[in-house]
Amino acid sequence: MQRKTYLIVTAVIFSLISILHFLRAVFFWPAKIGTLAIPIWVSWLAIIISVYLVSVSLNLLKKK
């Protein structure tokens, strides 16, 4: 896989992750792993991390 393709795929995947976590946080969708309920603040943290990863991918894509 070429570097450009990898960075585009990475940006798209993390964009989708951040959108889904944003929707979960806004609409208070429940999330469970087994019997453990995942709090909403985890989604806010995941949004911050995934948006950062998208921005890093796009910045690397702009550089040659």
* Mean local confidence (pLDDT), 6-13: 97
Name the average pLDDT for the chain. Answer: 96
Q: What is the pTM of this model?
A: 0.89
* Mean local confidence (pLDDT), 24-37: 97
**Residue 14 buriedness (CB in 10 A; 0-12 / 13-18 / 19+):** buried
User: Contact, 9 vs 60, CB < 8 A?
Assistant: no
* Mean local confidence (pLDDT), 40-48: 98
Query: Does 64 score more than 80 pLDDT?
Result: no
Quickly state the pLDDT bin for 32 (edges 50, 70, 90).
very high
